[in-house]
Structure 1
Amino acid sequence: MSNTYDVIIIGSGPGGYVTAVRSAQLGFKTAIVEREHLGGICLNWGCIPTKALLRSAEILHFSEHADSYGLKLEGKVTADIQAVVQRSRGVSARLNGGVGFLMKKNKVDVIWGEAKLTKAAKGGAPAEIVVGKPSKKPMEPQHPAPKKTLGEGTYQAKHVIVATGARPRLLPGIEPDGKLIWTYFEAMVPQEQPKSMVVMGSGAIGIEFASFYNALGVDVTVVELMPNIMPVEDAEISGLARKQLEKAGLKIITEAKVTKVDKAASSITAHVETKDGKTQAITADRLISAVGVQGNIENLGLEALGVKTDRGCVVIDGYGKTNVEGIYAIGDVAGPPMLAHKAEHEGVICIEKIAGVPGVHPTDKNMIPGCTYCDPQVASVGLTEAAAKEAGYDIRVGRFQFGANGKAIALGEDQGLIKTIFDKKTGQLLGAHMVGAEVTELIQGFVVAMNLETTEEELMHTIFPHPTLSEMMKESVLDAYGRALNA
């Protein structure tokens, strides 16, 4: 088997494996290099297993409120943390095997090991990659690799796409130890359920784990540096989410930071400093550090080849191309927003541009939706109200409450809001922001509308099915123009 390829992709996360599939579809001889597990962090330790955990928490929540639906349960339903974790790991294992199947189906070679770029493509000569033994051991036994796998050696490719993802950002002096101070890795597979917890950071990762553990009955305190939780979200939506999370039992401290953590044998004490300079000590069984992630750019040979990086990420254009011929980057390693669906889209755009597919457009980050799967869910796309005003737009804002929607009331999920922002001059939909039940499934409707450059008039004349939660999307649009029918 020749070690020369048209395309080699380093990393098999959502960006990497999807790009490999599309590359093979376009007729390229393709290989993918993976050092740890097919599917990357998202499938094995991120997006997918966390949703399995949150589903267990959701079922527990419903069981605890069965009487609200006219149901009686004999005995108390409790969480078996080991069984909850086992289910989550089983979901990941199933999908991990699915990625292996996709590689085999699309005739993509899997090279098992750790890659380092040693030569860039130049003057028609291919780039060179040396693959060695992985320096990092998997956190759990590796699921069976596809039969057609290669290993250590030197490989060549005309095009090399770096898709190595990211890892948790560490704060000096508060480094995770795997026992008392956790990253999302340890938080996903606890050996036992803690009674209390401090979560440092309220982005998607932090707030999802806070929501999960709170639903299990853990006493959770969230500490956030910014004025609002989920700081990238619209302030109004963030505020409503905070009220519901606090009503559910979460303790939230904003405009504050953890300055020091003292460790005891089986607990931590977090010293929290607020904006007024006051400090309080919070003792808990565990602390989760969720202060962001940073790109995996080290030990790839990028610096030696002159690949430009900035703040821990590879610098690319709208098509994934770096400043060095034949080298590209996609996904988390190429910078924010660090989302799996952004990585997949960037990968497809990158390889289609390489192949010369007509009509390929650069990635528009304003069209990338964001979702947080806490309870209540939060989802958004485009500009927030504040960002739209800052950009100079004269705007119209529409709002529609879940409490005025028949389906939401029937579901017992009448707390939430859908908010839309339009350019008053053109009717362009600038942004959409939601908090409430199943909004992570609703947001795609506004993403499609924005990509099609749909105006307010077209949205108002679209027929939405009844009774559905999606009707609120149309009502929010109508409200922006003073035409709401059910509020």
Structure 2
Amino acid sequence: MSDTYDVLIIGAGPGGYVTAIRAAQLGFRTAVVDREHLGGICLNWGCIPTKALLRSAEIFHYMEHAKDYGLSAEKIGFDVGAIVKRSRAVSGRLNGGVGMLLKKNKVDVIWGEAAIEAAPKGDTPGAVAVRETTRAEAPKGAKGAGTYRAKHVIVATGARPRVIPGIEPDRERIWTYYEAMVPKTMPRSLLVMGSGAIGIEFASFYRTMGAEVTVVELLPQILPVEDAEIAGLARKRFEKQGIQILTGAKVAKVEKTGQGVSAWVETGDGKSRTIEAEVLISAVGVVGNVENLGLEGLGVTIERGIVVTDGLGRTSVPGIYAIGDVAGPPMLAHKAEHEGVACIETIKGLHTHPMDKGKIPGCTYCQPQIASVGLTEAKAKEQGYDVRVGRFPFAGNGKAIALGEPDGLVKTIFDRKTGQLLGAHLVGAEVTELIQGFVVAMQLETTEEDLMHTVFPHPTLSEMMHESVLDAYGRVIHA
């Protein structure tokens, strides 16, 4: 009986542990299996530790520009070891917190590598074999290798960095985000392959800390999922900071040298150039961890490395579910969490509906920050909307000027016919904290009329959200 559960979740990342807690709240006997670390990649090697690194870079930036604020600072420097130590400590603290939450909610932790041996059918428990793992020491109180049974098995195994053949990471000269988060020394030069959120955040961090940085992006636009206008403004800021950016370009070949790497880059004009750098960071996306789980042998449909689901976590095999990165984009922790809650509530028989992926916000924590939700201007027009577009610059906001952050833009996109907010796109200081206002507005199906009559506090950056809406309808006040 002790090895039989109502729900067994494979993977203790944001999606997995949140789903486990919600399952326990709903009265399910629940266990979660992991092979390396509670909290998953996000907490241990992604979202959280990178934000700690970027915070150190931000403070260093302000110290270097103390004079701009009427202050003085002498002998400014940094200790890369101490920066990394702080970042790891932040992750360690939260990792322990996840363990406490699982214990509090009476969720069993099973330590090892899991594979589903038999598909759950009806009331017959499915078998999940857990093998010992050498990746990390088991948390105190965790169960070990063995065969466990559960009526419902949820796969939440996340994703890993995509590897380009011929440019495989070696942990010394060619890095993924793992190595980029724990540098032993600060490289003097860096080549970043890929300009999505991961690539741009590391480019921003290392440039702020003094490295010469070049970013190579295959597509014509950096930050390809963002609105073109916002991405263009961000690019200007990055280039002003000294980051060299090549778009429409491809890293065709990489050779290791005595000093680092030598990369042959093919540009859109048919030419090629060689870029020398101490380190190359490969940030060309991630792929789902679908291997060695027994899924295909059981008949679970997998397409292009992603487990196919119905939007509520159900796969093609009854009793087996998938959530988070392994179930497809957007590959974001907050998407995984909400997807997991919807999945387990569906299993419970509660009234649920698939998540509207068009209302999932995306944030990039570079300098300047970027945040967005909904349709870009181009996508809205492609879908046939007659749009109204509002813009408001940071330079017109008193709080932004007082902060010394006058560069940025808030952009809103409305359906001219109905007043529906279709999308919001921001670049500038603290926009990752502002975007949620627009997310709530979209979730509540707020119209331009509601937003224009909402009172925003003064002096705050949020006033720019209001002004952007007003601008879309020819009523802007401060521009």
SS across alignment from 1:128: strand
SS across alignment from 2:355: coil
Q: Distance in 2 between matches of 1:246 and 1:4?
A: 57
SS across alignment from 1:419: strand
User: Which among 250, 254, 258 is matched to residue 261 of structure 1?
Assistant: 254
Q: Distance in 2 between matches of 1:161 and 1:122?
A: 14
Letter in 1 for 2:61: H
SS across alignment from 1:458: helix
Check the 8 A contact 1:101/1:146 in 2, yes or no. Answer: no
Identity among equivalent pairs (%): 71
Letter in 2 for 1:438: E
Q: Distance in 1 between matches of 2:259 and 2:114?
A: 39
Check the 8 A contact 1:114/1:133 in 2, yes or no. Answer: yes
Deviation at 1:128, TM superposition (A): 1.2
Structure 1 stretches of 4+ moved >4 Å:
none
Aligned residue number for residue 145 of structure 1:
139
Q: Distance in 2 between matches of 1:168 and 1:49?
A: 16
- Map 1:386-401 to 2 at 5 A: 386-401=378-393
Aligned residue number for residue 298 of structure 1:
291
Q: Distance in 1 between matches of 2:81 and 2:200?
A: 22
Q: Distance in 1 between matches of 2:76 and 2:263?
A: 32
SS across alignment from 1:332: helix
Deviation at 1:63, TM superposition (A): 0.4
SS across alignment from 1:150: coil
Deviation at 1:137, TM superposition (A): 2.0
The answer as to 2:357 corresponding to 1:365 is yes
Deviation at 1:240, TM superposition (A): 0.3
Deviation at 1:123, TM superposition (A): 3.4
Unpaired runs of 5+ residues, structure 2, are none
- Map 1:33-52 to 2 at 5 A: 33-52=33-52
Q: Distance in 2 between matches of 1:45 and 1:455?
A: 39
Letter in 2 for 1:242: R
Aligned residue number for residue 314 of structure 1:
307
Q: Distance in 2 between matches of 1:401 and 1:437?
A: 12
Deviation at 1:353, TM superposition (A): 0.9
Q: Distance in 2 between matches of 1:195 and 1:186?
A: 16
Aligned residue number for residue 95 of structure 1:
94
- Map 1:19-418 to 2 at 5 A: 19-73=19-73, 75-134=74-133, 137-138=135-136, 142=137, 145-147=139-141, 149-358=142-351, 360-418=352-410
Letter in 2 for 1:32: V
The answer as to 2:473 corresponding to 1:475 is no
Residues 31-87 of structure 1: CA deviation (Å, up to 9, x unaligned): 0000001011000000000000000000000000000000011x2311211110000
Aligned residue number for residue 431 of structure 1:
423
Letter in 1 for 2:411: K
Residues 2-26 of structure 1: CA deviation (Å, up to 9, x unaligned): 1110000000000000000000000
Deviation at 1:288, TM superposition (A): 0.2
Residues 91-147 of structure 1: CA deviation (Å, up to 9, x unaligned): 00000000000011000000000000010011321211000012x624xxx5x7142
Q: Distance in 2 between matches of 1:271 and 1:108?
A: 51
Number of aligned residue pairs: 479
Letter in 2 for 1:216: M
Letter in 2 for 1:215: T
Q: Distance in 2 between matches of 1:311 and 1:80?
A: 42
Deviation at 1:403, TM superposition (A): 0.2
Residues 390-436 of structure 1: CA deviation (Å, up to 9, x unaligned): 00001100000000000000000010000000000000000000000
Q: Distance in 2 between matches of 1:80 and 1:230?
A: 30
Deviation at 1:230, TM superposition (A): 0.4
Q: Distance in 2 between matches of 1:8 and 1:19?
A: 10
Letter in 1 for 2:118: K
Deviation at 1:462, TM superposition (A): 0.3
Q: TM-score, normalised by structure 1?
A: 0.97
SS across alignment from 1:415: coil
Aligned residue number for residue 4 of structure 1:
4
Q: Distance in 1 between matches of 2:122 and 2:185?
A: 58
RMSD of aligned residue pairs (Cα, Å): 0.9
Aligned residue number for residue 486 of structure 1:
478
Deviation at 1:356, TM superposition (A): 1.3
Q: Distance in 2 between matches of 1:124 and 1:27?
A: 17
Q: Distance in 1 between matches of 2:242 and 2:428?
A: 17
Check the 8 A contact 1:197/1:288 in 2, yes or no. Answer: yes
SS across alignment from 1:145: coil
Letter in 2 for 1:103: L
Q: Distance in 1 between matches of 2:469 and 2:411?
A: 8
Letter in 2 for 1:396: R
Check the 8 A contact 1:104/1:146 in 2, yes or no. Answer: no
Q: Distance in 1 between matches of 2:384 and 2:356?
A: 19
Letter in 1 for 2:158: G
Q: Distance in 2 between matches of 1:38 and 1:115?
A: 15
SS across alignment from 2:63: helix
Letter in 1 for 2:440: V
The answer as to 2:31 corresponding to 1:14 is no
